[in-house]
Amino acid sequence: MACLTSVHLDSNNYDNPFKFDPWRWEKIGAAASNNCYVPFGGGQRLCPGWELSRLELAIFLHHLVTTYRWVADRDEIQYFPTVKMKRKLPIISVEPINA
């Protein structure tokens, strides 16, 4: 089991790890690039709002898909290394669906 305190206070990862600096992760880009930033832990100590955020996102996407229609600009699919859109599928317009 990982000890998150030791990860966040490791001098190999952060300069001055015992100084209070809530922006230290922004400075080194740790939140996006490596496992040095673990704000909510895992396992039994997983973020308590995780399931709520998944539910809110599902409800939002349901309403977006069922009540709006959008037109996307022409884009190409890239198949390697993963399947994704080359220009991230830019959306030109969003309009409500008339019932």
pLDDT confidence tier of residue 33, bands split at 50, 70 and 90: low
Total structural domains within the chain: 2
Backbone angles phi, psi at 71, to 5 degrees: -115, 125
**Which whole number is the average pLDDT over 64-70?**
92
Q: What is the mean pLDDT of the chain?
A: 80
Residue 86 lies in a domain: yes
pTM over 0.85: no
pLDDT confidence tier of residue 26, bands split at 50, 70 and 90: confident
* Pair (6, 43) in one structural domain: yes
Question: Is 25:55 a contact under the CB 8 Å cutoff?
Answer: no
Residue 96 lies in a domain: yes
**What amino acid is encoded at 19 in this protein?**
K
Euclidean distance between CA atoms 51 and 56, whole angstroms: 9
> What residue numbers bound the domain in which 83 lies?
63-99
Residue 69 lies in a domain: yes
